[in-house]
Amino acid sequence: MDTDSLYAGETIGHVILVTGILGGGAAWLSGRAVANAWRPQWQVAIAAVLVGLAARFIHFALFEGTLLSLPSFCCDTLIFLILGLLAWRATRAAQMVRQYPWLYARAGPLGWREIGQENAGRR
């Protein structure tokens, strides 16, 4: 087995299944859960590391991947961190608009903006 490659001994299907679907879904749900609890953004990083450890174990246990592969773990965890942060931001934007409709309006899928005084009277 070539230990120099990123996902040594694994097929692209295994990587897509574990990293993309299982781990990515878990990272998205973790980001949403952190935001729904009104927790700070940095807690998504902790969740991403934990999902990264779980994904590395699944690669090892099911598909005979390398358990202690730092490059694979870092790559997986970076993907999970990005997905978790996107979910956190999308959830927080929805929360701000839903919780404070007199102050904020939606500004895209990941943002919100303050409602100006001239627009506040029209509501």
- pLDDT score at 66: 87
Rounded-to-integer distance, Cα 63 and Cα 14, Å: 7
- pLDDT score at 3: 45
Beta-bridge mates of residue 112: 106
Neighbours of 100 (CB within 10 A): 12
Going residue by residue through the chain, which has 123 residues, state the pLDDT in tens, using 9 for 90 and above: 444 578 877 889 999 999 999 999 999 999 999 999 999 999 999 999 999 999 999 999 998 888 898 999 999 999 999 999 999 999 999 999 999 999 999 999 999 999 975 555 555
**Tokens 């692209």 label which residue?**
12
List the domain boundaries for the chain: 12-89
- pLDDT score at 1: 43
pTM for the full predicted model: 0.86
